[in-house]
Amino acid sequence: MAAQRGAGPDPVVIVGSGLAGYNTARELRKLDKQTPLVIISRDAGDFYSKPMLSNALAGKKSAADLVMKTAATMASELAATVMATTEVSAIDTGSRTLTLSGGQLLVYRDLVLALGADPIRLPLQGDGAQDVLSVNDLQDYARFAQALEGASNVAILGAGLIGCEFANDLLARGIRPTVIDIAERPLARLLPQEAGERLQRRLQDAGVLFCFGTGVARVDRHGSAYRLQLDSGATLDADLVLSAIGLRPRTALAQAAGLLVGRGVQVDRMLAASQPHVYAVGDNAQVLGHNLPYVLPLMAQARALGATLAGKPTAVNYPAMPVVVKTPAWPTVVCPPPLDAAGTWSVAQDDAHCSAQFLGDDGTVLGFALQGTATAQRQALATRVAPLLPVL
């Protein structure tokens, strides 16, 4: 089937209607009101903030409550066509066309991949393995919230940022969480040992149980609940099992199209992929080796790419970008050092706070972690951190 080009200019097409996709569209429209714009969404296309999913239970929010604007409202505000419940099955970068579900072809001027990421699934054994839930979008959240009715305890696989946030959030519903991780403490990849241990103690004091140094081998149905077999040999019973061990960027579509991919779609500081007129943003993007699944990098990308698409080529800059961990039991902010950074953590703490700085071998501040009352220092300390991608 040949793609039919219309009489007017070809559109900018954004694949993905999450924070990355919609914010890129907003930034484009600030500078360009005329270029045709199409946003393709695999779901209903409603606008919501994905980070809110891990702390919405405390506020007794339903999935519908989390919708900020409907797809129709977003289409009107952005002067865009929002194609809901639509999948892209193939990209032809030579002819600049997309093959959509149903076989329809769509021509693009520029293509933005804002596909997000999928939850990583452990290779679990047992007849309950397929019942393990994850929360990665509004539909997932709705299923999880419904399944929580009548539950008194939940096993959470993974003591990273999302696992700890959900654990803290479940407490507000009177549900006891047990968090299981092969690491020795929570947020082991983000926090120094002292800060991780402080977070663990505060969450334990609030009612969270932890099982560290072990993974989960099996999940079996046990009456109306589940029995988990741990690698350590111990067993654990839970009403529900939630997996929060991490996300994997959706790169299959880009790879099939011949784009270079790694942890995400490989892009330069213009967010440009390895084929012309293709860009990537958000969880989907790996910018010069950096794949940062957080809101502030996403917003920086959206601003830069919106300008580029509007005819003002703009490189993305990454200043220090602190991440707020939503654990009210022990407020925590972390600005992670680069993965390959050489240096050491310097930690100061008392009963009310923990303040840690990651210092490079030359004394440069490359990252920090703040807890308790020290979180008030995040903006001041951020000005001392070396930018990951400095202003060009």
Contact 24, 112 (CB under 8 A): yes
340, pLDDT greater than 90 = no
pLDDT for the residue 7: 65
Identify the pLDDT of residue 102.
86
CA torsion sign for 23, 28, 29, 35 is: negative
Q: Which H or E run contains 218?
A: strand 216-222
| Residue 2, pLDDT above cutoff 70 | no
Nearest to 238 by CA among 248, 224, 254, 250: 224
pLDDT at 118: 96
Q: Are 179 and 196 spatial neighbours (Cβ–Cβ below 8 Å)?
A: no
**What average pLDDT does this structure show over 209-221?**
98
**Ramachandran area for residue 304 (φ above 0: left; ψ -120 to 50: alpha; else beta):** alpha
Spatial neighbors of 102 by CB under 8 A, at least 6 apart, are: none
Please report, rounded to a whole number, the percentage of residues in the chain having pLDDT higher than 70. 98
Q: What is the pLDDT of residues 357-389, one digit of tens each?
A: 999 999 999 999 999 999 999 999 999 999 999
pLDDT in tens, 178-204: 999 999 999 999 999 999 999 999 999
pTM: 0.95
pLDDT at 13 over 70: yes
Domains and CATH numbers, the chain: 12-118+247-309 (3.50.50.60), 121-243 (3.50.50.60), 331-382 (3.30.390.120)
pLDDT value at residue 1: 47
Mean pLDDT for the stretch of residues 140-152: 96
Report pLDDT for 5: 58
Per-residue pLDDT for 355 more than 80? Answer: yes
pLDDT of residue 368: 98
**What is the mean predicted confidence (pLDDT) over 154-182?**
97
> Angle at CA 354, nearest 5°, toward 348 and 355?
60
pLDDT in tens, 92-115: 999 999 999 989 999 999 999 999
Axis crossing angle, helix 161-171 with helix 193-206, rounded to the nearest 10: 20
Rounded average pLDDT over 291-318: 97
pLDDT above 70 for 4: no
